[in-house]
């Protein structure tokens, strides 16, 4: 992604502030700290050097030590009062909201709370009101965090989305919070493959003595292989029920919407579609219609028994 002038301005302000705090600093360290190449730091210093107050004569400009510059070290002589600017309301909301979401998942590192405290204190006007989420069950998250810390394998009792309960040994790799819900990225020895398991579907965790022996997977998130592409037409009032399906696209079609998404399991998708059944207009492919029909019949049989 090309750098915008706003990005660069924020870094220019940041470099002066950093030098104010930390004294003279090699270009290489500034480059690492701000995530750019050392050559870019050199350009940034040159730009700063020619910026300053109206008049733009010697004494009006931001000034650096020329000898240090030749040794690839930034040494600030006069910052002209330049300082990093405070967070805009959007920036503050973006950070505080995601940090709080991570914190309320109950599985975030403790340092998240420390950062939140610092930010809340610094933001003069609290920009956002937050309620706490339900969090993860400590009986599940604590042994998992211990296993992650000690690189130990764990045995889990897990209930999948189709309500099947299994016991499996997994190598835990990472805890991930997706849309506020905690997941465990792991290698499942039972499936002999990488899995992303919902924490609130884990019923029990036991830390084993065996060490983790598989590397973390490359791709974060879900590892389900899509089996077919589903197309569902439904009334607008029903669109809310599908909106958390990963990879969903929704198009308007008169008073309806047409939702398209990749699905791995017809039974699971059919279960979701039942929730908005009165809004359904058409369901493709036939495989998904069949699953929907079967499940609807089973629900009716159960209720009319």
Partner 1 sequence: MTAIAPEQRLLNLILGLSNTRHRLTRAQIRDSIEGYAPAPSGADEETAAAADSAFERMFERDKKALRELGIPLETVVDPAHGDEIGYRIRPAEAAMPPLELTAAELAVVGLAADYWQDAALGTDARQAVMKLASSAEHGPRVELPFAGRATRVQDAVAALIEAVADRQAVRFEYSSASGGTGTRTLEPWKVVFRGGVAYVVGHDRDREDARIFRVQRIGGAVRRVGDPGAYAIPEEIPLGLLAAAHTSHTATVALRPESGHALRRRGRAVGVESGWDLVEVDYTHDDALRAEVLALGGAARIVTPRHLALAVERHAAAALEVGRG
Site membership for partner 1, residue 206 (CB under 8 A): no
Site string for partner 1, 238-267 (x = CB under 8 A): xxxx-xx-x-----x----x---------x
Contact 226, 269 (CB under 8 A): no
- As a whole number of angstroms, the distance between CA 89 and CA 81 comes to 24
Q: How far is the CB of 13 from partner 1 (least distance, A)?
A: 7
* Three-state DSSP string of 94-122: HHHHHHHHHHHCCCCCCHHHHHHHHHHHH
Contact region with partner 1 (CB under 8 A), list: 3-11, 69-77, 187-195, 223-231: 3-11
Q: How far is the CB of 163 from partner 1 (least distance, A)?
A: 5
CA angle in degrees (0–180, nearest 5) for 47-1-82: 30
Residue of the chain from 64, 104, 156, 266 that contacts partner 1 (CB under 8 A): 104
**Residue written as token pair 């302000």:** 13
Site membership for partner 1, residue 81 (CB under 8 A): yes
Nearer to partner 1, 188 or 269 (CB): 269
Contact 187, 194 (CB under 8 A): yes
- As a whole number of angstroms, the distance between CA 29 and CA 186 comes to 35
Nearer to partner 1, 67 or 301 (CB): 301
Contact 114, 122 (CB under 8 A): no
Q: How far is the CB of 260 from partner 1 (least distance, A)?
A: 16
Q: How far is the CB of 162 from partner 1 (least distance, A)?
A: 9
Residue of the chain from 75, 204, 207, 296 that contacts partner 1 (CB under 8 A): 296
Nearer to partner 1, 129 or 209 (CB): 129
Site membership for partner 1, residue 297 (CB under 8 A): yes
Residue of the chain from 209, 218, 219, 305 that contacts partner 1 (CB under 8 A): 305
Nearer to partner 1, 91 or 206 (CB): 91
Query: Pick from 228, 222, 219: which is nearest to 261 by CA?
Result: 228
Residue of the chain from 23, 32, 206, 253 that contacts partner 1 (CB under 8 A): 32
Site membership for partner 1, residue 100 (CB under 8 A): yes
- As a whole number of angstroms, the distance between CA 290 and CA 191 comes to 28
Nearer to partner 1, 58 or 304 (CB): 304
Which pairing describes strands 165-178 and 152-159: parallel, antiparallel, or unpaired? Answer: antiparallel
Q: How far is the CB of 169 from partner 1 (least distance, A)?
A: 18
- As a whole number of angstroms, the distance between CA 31 and CA 74 comes to 11
Site membership for partner 1, residue 273 (CB under 8 A): yes
Identify the helix (H) or strand (E) that includes residue 93: helix 89-104
Q: What residues pair up with 273 in beta bridges, in sequence order?
A: none
Site membership for partner 1, residue 18 (CB under 8 A): yes
Site membership for partner 1, residue 189 (CB under 8 A): no
* Sign of the dihedral defined by the CA atoms of residues 55, 59, 62, 66, in that order: positive
Rg over CA atoms, the chain: 27
Site membership for partner 1, residue 73 (CB under 8 A): no
Site string for partner 1, 145-164 (x = CB under 8 A): ---x----------x---x-
Question: Looking only at residues 107 through 136 of this chain, which bind partner 1 when binding is defined by CB under 8 A?
Answer: 107-109, 111-112, 114-115, 118-119, 122, 124, 128-134
Q: The tokens of 65 are what?
A: 């030590």
């Amino acid at each position: 992604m090309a750098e915008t002038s706003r990005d660069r301005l924020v870094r220019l302000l940041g470099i002066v502030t950093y030098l104010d705090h930390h004294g003279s600093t090699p270009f290489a360290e500034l480059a690492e700290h701000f995530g750019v190449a050392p050559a870019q730091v050199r350009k940034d210093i040159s730009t700063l050097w020619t910026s300053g107050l109206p008049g733009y004569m010697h004494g009006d400009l931001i000034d650096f030590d020329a000898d240090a510059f030749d040794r690839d070290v930034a040494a600030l002589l006069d910052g002209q009062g330049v300082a990093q600017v405070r967070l805009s309301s959007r920036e503050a909301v973006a950070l505080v909201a995601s940090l709080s979401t991570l914190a309320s998942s109950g599985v975030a590192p403790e340092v998240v709370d420390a950062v939140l405290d610092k930010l809340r204190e610094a933001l003069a006007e609290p920009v956002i009101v937050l309620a706490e989420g339900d969090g993860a069950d400590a009986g599940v998250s604590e042994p998992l965090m211990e296993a992650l810390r000690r690189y130990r394998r764990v045995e889990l009792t897990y209930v999948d989305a189709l309500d099947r309960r299994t016991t499996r040994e997994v190598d835990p790799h990472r805890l991930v919070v997706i849309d506020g819900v905690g997941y465990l990225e792991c290698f499942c020895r039972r499936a002999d493959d990488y899995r992303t398991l919902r924490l609130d579907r884990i019923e029990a965790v036991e830390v084993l003595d065996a060490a983790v022996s598989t590397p973390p997977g490359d791709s974060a998130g879900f590892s389900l292989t899509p089996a077919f592409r589903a197309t569902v037409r439904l009334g607008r009032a029903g669109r809310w029920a599908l909106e958390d399906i990963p990879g969903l696209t929704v198009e308007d079609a008169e008073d309806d919407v047409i939702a398209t998404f990749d699905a791995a399991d017809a039974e699971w998708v059919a279960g979701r579609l039942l929730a908005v059944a009165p809004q359904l207009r058409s369901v493709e492919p036939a495989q998904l219609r069949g699953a929907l029909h079967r499940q609807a019949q089973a629900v009716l049989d159960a209720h009319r028994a």
